[in-house]
Amino acid sequence: MYLTKKTYIKPDMKLGGLFFENPYLLLMMEHFNLDFVVNDKTIEKVCQESSINSNIFVDIANLYNGFNDLDAKKYTKTDILTIVNFLKNSHNYYKEEKYPEIQSLINKILKLNETREIKLISKFFGEYFNEVIDHLDYEDQVAFPYFLNLLEDGRNIPKGKDYSAKIYSDHHTDIETKLMELKTLLLRHIPLGKDRSLRRRLIISLFELDYDLNIHYLIEESALTPLIEKIENGFKK
Amino acid sequence: MTDCKIYIAIVEHSYIICEGLSNILLKSDHHSQVFRFESLQELSEFPGREKLNMVIINPSFAISDRKDFFALRKSLKNAKWLGLIYSYFDKKIIELFDDTIEISYDPSDIKKIISKISKEDWPCLEEDQVEELSEREKDVLIELVNGFSNKEIAEKLNISTHTVASHRKNITSKIGVKSLAGLTIYSITKGIISLEDL
């Protein structure tokens, strides 16, 4: 099924060229902790130099281009580290960059258009983001350490701990719904005052957050969780 | 309130034919979203399949995967099934479809077929989509925002909880907001309640 006209990415493609088509791949590079000025290197070469499995790299890059080809069968146990680092870096991006950016836009709008609605939007976003932070903290403090422990020495780990893929999925649905509502309220219902340009920036910023959170969720759901379950099942036997 | 877009699935092996048809459909007067599938199985796994209004399909799928074809036809009973004809098929096969689109058709012929079908089945295409809440829905909304449960609202307004639930569903599909916090913001924006009421 195709809804996008973006390039379907393959390992022998030159990475640099793809950024011209979809600049959000730069964000992906940051999540991988890689530099994006890569001269003429192919994806394969870049992955080789940084010891990343090109299968996982290509599949994640394709997510950014609108194709979901994630398939845990293509990845190995050692890729868990790559994935966890990627997700951790995205957490930093949400916490350190995206949230403050959105909050500061809301504050600026409040200065121009101090209405009840915008005040409530500010509150709504605050509550929404606290939920996101709770979830990110849960991953940073419970889920990820558990995964890494599992990789290092599976015998010493407490069983399954509090980690549950189901919890993540519920959180995610809730987070999605709230973000969608925020966009709906700002786009369809709350009248514009002098905040037109600021609100446009705010809405675009919300879409960017949504876009990245969505990819984040897919990676957890279709790549990380199955890999973890495979290891856990291996220990049970 | 259903939204008035037409959701169309094209099930066809040929990319060229699929892209061409998709372009014609997207440029027609109706608002449509087109999805491409290469097999019946892909269609049966598509999460948005319940929404589909129309399935345009190469009849060869009905011959090669007869069982899947009938199962899907039965489960997607709200969709109109159109055969996409560019080779010879037995009359019995053609009769399996609600209508056909032939490869020799002009874009305007295709638009006519879509219009014909949509007039019969999707009345919402003829009237503007209503976003405005009814008075009763506003009553329910006010109680919701004030924190009452479905059961309490039913008692207060003297209606069944089932009716309350159906009003809630309609409110959400009309305005695109579900959470209490979101509904509160909406109600204030539209002057349905004022902050002092809370």
- Pick from A30, A52, A69: which residue ends a domain? A69
Tokens of A203: 């809405």
Radius of gyration of chain A (CA): 20
Q: Determine, yes or no, domain membership for A4.
A: no
Contacts of A178 in chain B (CB under 8 A): 179, 182
pLDDT number for residue A156? 57
Q: Scan for tokens 């405005």, then name that residue.
A: B132
Tokens of B14: 């040929």
Residues A93, A52 within the same domain = no
Find the residue in A nearest to B47 (Cα): A1
Cβ distance B150 to B168 under 8 Å? yes
Q: Is A75 helix (H, G, I), strand (E, B) or coil?
A: coil
Contacts of B178 in chain A (CB under 8 A): 177, 181
pLDDT number for residue A162? 54
CA distance B42 to chain A (A): 8
Cβ distance B171 to B139 under 8 Å? no
Residues A106, A203 within the same domain = yes
Residue A146 CB: number of other CB atoms within 10 A?
17
- Containing B99, the helix (H) or strand (E) segment is strand B99-102
Helix%, strand%, coil% for chain A, nearest 5: 75, 0, 25
Domain count across chain A: 2
Find the residue in B nearest to A126 (Cα): B181
Tokens of A197: 């340009």
Residues A28, A83 within the same domain = no
For the stretch B151-191, pLDDT in tens is 999 999 999 999 999 999 999 988 989 999 999 999 999 99
| B99 backbone dihedrals φ, ψ, rounded to 5° | -165, 175
Domain range for A164: 76-236
Element counts in chain A: helices (H) and strands (E): 11, 0
Q: pLDDT tier at B115 (50, 70, 90 boundaries)? A: confident
Angle between helices A99-112 and A116-138 (to 10 degrees): 170
The percent of residues above 70 in pLDDT, for chain A, comes to 89
Residues A65, A81 within the same domain = no
Give this prediction's pTM.
0.74
Residues B160, B181 within the same domain = yes
Residues A80, A60 within the same domain = no
Beta carbons of B188 and A117 less than 8 Å apart: yes
Residues A61, A27 within the same domain = yes
d(C-alpha B26, C-alpha B30), whole Å: 8
For the stretch B52-78, pLDDT in tens is 889 999 999 999 988 999 999 988 888
Burial track A14-28 (b if 16+ CB lie within 10 A, e otherwise) = ebeebbeebeebebb
Residues A130, A62 within the same domain = no
- Containing B36, the helix (H) or strand (E) segment is strand B32-37
ipTM surpassing 0.95: no
Q: Determine, yes or no, domain membership for B33.
A: yes
Segment A84-108 shows an average pLDDT of 95
Name residue A42's beta-bridge partners.
Answer: A14
Residues B113, B161 within the same domain = no
Beta carbons of A181 and B177 less than 8 Å apart: yes
- Pick from A37, A52, A69: which residue ends a domain? A69
Residues A64, A80 within the same domain = no
Residues A142, A100 within the same domain = yes
- Containing B35, the helix (H) or strand (E) segment is strand B32-37
d(C-alpha A175, C-alpha A171), whole Å: 6
